[in-house]
Chain A
Amino acid sequence: MANKNETLNKNTEVYTSRFGALMSMVGMCVGLGNVWRFPYLCGQDGGGAFVIAYLVCLGVVVIPLAIVEAGYGKGNRGGIMQAYETALHSKTAGKIIGGISTVFYGTMNFFFLPVMASSLYFIYVCIRGLWKTQPAGEIYAQSITNYPMMVTLVVILSLITGFIVFKGVGGGIERMSKIMIPLMFLAFIIVVIFSAFSVDGIGKGYDWFLNPDWGKLGTVQIWLDAMGQALFSIGVGPGCMYIYGSHLKKKGDVTLNVTTVCFGDTFAALIAGMAIIPACVAMGLSPESGSGLIFVVLPNLLSQIPGGQIIGILVFAGIFFAGITTAVAQFEVPVATFFNGFGLSRKKVAVVGTFITMAGALACTYSTSILELFNNLAGNYGFIITAGLGAIMYSWVYGVNKIRENHLNPTSDLQLGKWFTILVKFIAVPLMLFIMFNSLVPVLQ
């Protein structure tokens, strides 16, 4: 059944082990959103009720879309250009649409690496216990304007990210993920256990975080928040799942792998939430969403609890591991797309891409307006448009049935029936498009 493009796109590297494949895909999904947005939404939107809404959205919309995208990647191979070429039956259209989508996605690291630099700096802040002499807000404000230090950290992070992608799937991405993802989970688990025994009134914090307000399940807001968070967290649409799926072996079970990865992503969000939010609430600090939680509220908390320095090192190391695996995924998408699309060498594309990313990230470090520009252009408009286009292309243009029959069911214990096609085409994709464009409204306003 494979068409001409499908048989041509065979030379993609594959993961060398199942554990490595799982950890690489979990690393791609788990990012700062798991740490600084999910726990906040959870507390704000009815605690346990939000967890239930999130799991429903994950099961009905996000896991099916992710399975389709990764299945198409495994079957079609290559990069995003090949994905569009095969679906649209046009090399030119594929190269143009796939190329533009990929460039947008690749620029996500421009504004992501400076944030990562701050998290790296805060490991140093914890080691030195700097919050004892200076308020955390001041430390953060000074750090982002300390250009020599931020430039050095951004350069180091660009080189680390570039080097991992340069080393390829088995020797780079997989090897890194097999170490960093278990360490990230371990760091957060230690913090959860430690704070349960060392923070007074931690139960009050858990009540804020998880006590279900079932009445909220009847509101539209909780479902919009849950769906938006699930879609952005797993990152379906723009091509990450496609690229990481394309590295699976031909006989790999996509359905089972992707379901496991989505559960792993939720595991990370909940364990990070348990590590940070209940302690914040118990100490009377207000949990926020975004960088304020990580770089201001969290150090304030750490300064007040026994063993705060060690806990801080573990938490910021966990955040760093979560972030660096995402940065690698955001760099792997353009590298895999361009070296596959134009028949180039991975190493050459990775080197050139590293310097472009470094230049973009340094520009964002120096100028808040450039950072805001890329945040809006790539993080908001770019992500939403390319994710929407991707979902339409995989599901409606190429076809869920083809993916299900050719690339999913033949190598999976879990057989997906025709109900799956109906679910994806008529429920998951329309809901995703609605949520994506709905999230654009505040940005446009």
Chain B
Amino acid sequence: MLTGTIIMLVFVVVVVYGGTIFLMGKCLSQPPTPDDDDDEE
């Protein structure tokens, strides 16, 4: 495999795959909001 390919594979795994997992973790770990918050306004 060429060096450029290996660098891009690492980039894809770290930035895209790692980024998605990190962001998903951040979304899911936010403090809970009340279920009935749609009635507030």
Which residues from chain A sit less than 8 Å from chain B, CB to CB?
A: 2, 7, 10, 14, 18-19, 22, 47-48, 51, 55, 203, 206-207, 210-212, 249-253, 256-257, 259-260, 263-264, 266-267, 270-271, 413
A257 to B8, CA, bound (A): 26
Contact A249 B38 (CB under 8 A): yes
A81 to B39, CA, bound (A): 22
Contact B19 A18 (CB under 8 A): no
Contact B40 A203 (CB under 8 A): no
Q: Which residues of B contact A19 (CB under 8 A)?
A: 28
A364 to B38, CA, bound (A): 41
Q: Which residues of A contact B8 (CB under 8 A)?
A: 47-48, 51, 210-212
**Chain A at the B interface: SS class:** helix
A207 to B7, CA, bound (A): 11
Contact B9 A18 (CB under 8 A): no
* Other-chain contact of B24, A47, A212, A264, A271 (Cβ < 8 Å): A264
Contact B16 A257 (CB under 8 A): no
Max count, chain A CB within 10 A of own CB: residue among B5, B7, B9: B5
Max count, chain B CB within 10 A of own CB: residue among A2, A55, A251: A251
Interface bits B17-39 vs A (CB < 8 Å: 1, else 0): 10110011011101001000110
Q: How far is the CB of A40 from chain B (nearest CB, A)?
A: 17
18 contacts between A and B (CB under 8 A): A18-B30, A22-B27, A206-B1, A206-B9, A207-B5, A211-B4, A211-B8, A212-B7, A212-B8, A252-B33, A253-B30, A259-B23, A260-B20, A263-B16, A266-B16, A267-B16, A267-B17, A270-B17
A7 to B15, CA, bound (A): 40
Contacts A47-B8, A256-B23, A263-B19; A249 near B28 (Cβ below 8 A): no
Q: Which residues of B contact A267 (CB under 8 A)?
A: 16-17, 20
